[in-house]
Structure 1
Amino acid sequence: MMPDPRPGAAIVSLAQAAPRAGGARGPRRAAPDGDAPTLHVRCGSDIRDSLAMAGFQGDFLEVADPLIQGPVPATRSLDGYHDTRARFVSAAYGVPLAEARRRMAGEWAALLAADRYDRVVLWFEHDAYDQLILARVLDALHGRRGLEGRAALVLYDPARDGASVGVVRGLGELGPDALLRLWGQRRMVTRALTAQGVRVWDALRQPAPRALARMAAGLVPGLATMAPALRRWLQDLPWTTDGLALTERGLLRTLADEGGTASTGTLFRAYLTTDPQPTLGDAMMTHVVHGLCAGPEPAVIKDDPDAADRTATWTLTETGRRLLDGTADWAALGGLDRWMGGTHLVSPMPSWRWDPETAAPIATGMADRAGRGEAQP
């Protein structure tokens, strides 16, 4: 999905949301989930109103920690995890720290209490944003005997579901009738399936992306969309060719195609048409653009430093043009300092890069230290 990672409500009653969403469509019919108290879990609010319009009456829980960006610590302390992630969300998206912390803790507490429902349904799609959150949710459900036989998964796969509901970027583009068809295709969440979530979640938080790369190169049993999503996400490692992530290069190229200057909205809409698997919302895209504004030789500048990000305009610099020409390396220029899961990528020699020739991550000389477990924030 293309989410907004800023805080919102945790659990919402779909029955109460229906009037606000315009009520159920068509003739009155029994609620699809009316046979059992149901919790619908989604990594954003994009389908909440459509579910209400389709007649669903259960509760809706948004679990929306944007794991595709920022550090994802391997700490066993849930408080420590939320502290790290809340600091990132606050700094990256302009959310007050206390608010980000409260939302994360509230969402997760609600998920951990899900066994009070007779049925829990996970609604996810194929992109990396959804798939990484799905891995964490499945990890949380693993071994929960109270949920055995009661949890189900609706997983939109365009290769499989495109013919029946349409090929879309995300579930939020589907109407109530299409969501009802996907509801009819939900499948049981088994212990074998949650075990795959455990594998991905453990691999994501490691200092080296080796295990993730192995999964990306093959299949993740029961989760047909996981390996392609991991392959796309790993391409946001700095490339051996220019030190740019696939997303960063795409944004620079889009800026160039727009004449060198574009507003946030124009840049976002134009970029979405170029990404092979778009997964960023506008706030997350803006965070990437801010990264390109960093370092001693920025690739992009914000025309008015005091302008709000959503109304700002951005201009490609000469450095940005050199990067697109292949005559400069972003990491070597000193602009790189970001996290992907448990991997910290820092100029001038990031520990890992993406090699387009082998279509896989490769370790640099700094990877030995990272492999021994660099401390996470």
Structure 2
Amino acid sequence: MTSTAHIRCGDDLRDLLPRAGHDGAYLPIVDPVCVGAVSDAELMAYLGLRARVIALHAGVDGQEARLRLGREYMALNALAQFDRVLLWFEHDLWDQACLIRVLSLLADRAPLAGKLFLMPADGRRPFAHLPAEELAALQPAPLGPLQLAAGAEAWAAFASPDPTALDRLTRRASPLPHLATAMRRHLQDLPWRADGLALTERRLLHAVADGAADDAAALHAMLAADPVFHVTDLIVREVAQRLATGPHRLMSRTTPWTLTERGAAVLAGQAKHRPAPRFQAGVMVGPEPVWWWDPRAAGVHAAALP
């Protein structure tokens, strides 16, 4: 009998896969890689960094977050015992960011040669929304050295404090079918030269301007507007808190949410937002950004030196 491991960036398929005939060990990586700071440091340092990010983002205990991350990432060390390893990652930024993190860790593992497979995502629907018979019919595509190298290269660029390598990567063909689009969406959450807003920030402000009075309504509107970055309730709350903080806040601190006068002016292109300090993967963002997204050039732009 063939032994199989399923790697997934969450628990949503844990019960669905057996019902669709995809038996085997379920190995989740519940690391929201597209949220907050990452680094290309060795794994133990990375886990410590991500545990702090997750504790702040999700309001959980940092030690518990560190222990769970450790268990999940260490499980990757035991993959050689399986005959097949199926990777279940969809087209969106959340999944693609986690995929390149995983591929970067598996790229040089000779015992996994010929065992790694990527499950085909259709670019529209989450796996969890597929009927059981359609999920059962999916055929895994082999992951060879070319795809593994592409994942490792993308991870190094994603984790870099200089986003230009990632920008270049999105402009060429990739052996990973959904990677370029997802990474371009990631770069669009750098501050835009036109108004200083990240794309997710702008979409939240648009939702509030259109009447979204709380996080649930804003989440619904933002998911409908963005097929590539499937934001979560925690992401919406974090972005809202960022935009509602400080003397130049763009939206109200409490519900029902409304735009401030400055928020309306920024959204209308009549004022420029000065971003609060944060990390966009490896890139530090602050009130005087070093890196911008230039919508006219559809690419990354470095701020002029003083």
Alignment TM class, shorter chain as reference: over 0.9
Task: Give the root-mean-square deviation of aligned CA atoms.
Answer: 1.6
Conservation of the 8 A alpha-carbon contact between 1:138 and 1:198: yes
The residue aligned with 2:247 is 296
CA separation in 1, counterparts of 2:84 and 2:171?
34
- Residue 276 of structure 1 and its aligned partner are, at CA, apart by 4.2
CA separation in 2, counterparts of 1:251 and 1:315?
11
Conservation of the 8 A alpha-carbon contact between 1:38 and 1:119: yes
The residue aligned with 2:129 is 173
CA separation in 1, counterparts of 2:137 and 2:301?
42
CA separation in 2, counterparts of 1:192 and 1:330?
41
Conservation of the 8 A alpha-carbon contact between 2:218 and 2:236: no
The residue aligned with 1:4 is none
SS in 2 for 1:357: coil
The residue aligned with 1:132 is 97
CA separation in 2, counterparts of 1:317 and 1:207?
32
> TM-score under structure 1 normalisation?
0.78
The residue aligned with 1:242 is 195
1:262 aligns with 2:262: no
Unaligned 5+ segments in structure 2 are none
The residue aligned with 2:205 is 252
The residue aligned with 1:37 is 3
Letter in 1 for 2:196: G
SS in 1 for 2:189: coil
CA separation in 2, counterparts of 1:206 and 1:251?
27
Conservation of the 8 A alpha-carbon contact between 1:112 and 1:140: no
Conservation of the 8 A alpha-carbon contact between 1:127 and 1:277: yes
Conservation of the 8 A alpha-carbon contact between 2:182 and 2:229: no
Identical columns (%): 38
The residue aligned with 1:212 is 166
Letter in 1 for 2:130: L
Letter in 2 for 1:53: R
The residue aligned with 2:81 is 116
CA separation in 2, counterparts of 1:302 and 1:104?
32
Cα deviation, 1:272-330, whole Å, max 9, x if unaligned, reads 11124232111122212222122321112331xxxxxxxx6533222211111111211
- Residue 225 of structure 1 and its aligned partner are, at CA, apart by 0.8
Q: What is the number of equivalent residue pairs in this alignment?
A: 306
The residue aligned with 2:257 is 314
Structure having the higher Rg: 1
- Residue 187 of structure 1 and its aligned partner are, at CA, apart by 1.1
Alignment of structure 1 residues 131-170 onto 2, 5 Å:
131-158=96-123, 167-168=124-125, 170=126
CA separation in 1, counterparts of 2:280 and 2:102?
19
CA separation in 2, counterparts of 1:175 and 1:145?
36
Conservation of the 8 A alpha-carbon contact between 1:247 and 1:275: no
The correspondence for 1:57, drawn from 23, 27, 34, is 23
Cα deviation, 1:145-183, whole Å, max 9, x if unaligned, reads 11111111113133xxxxxxxx42x2222232221122x
> TM-score under structure 2 normalisation?
0.95
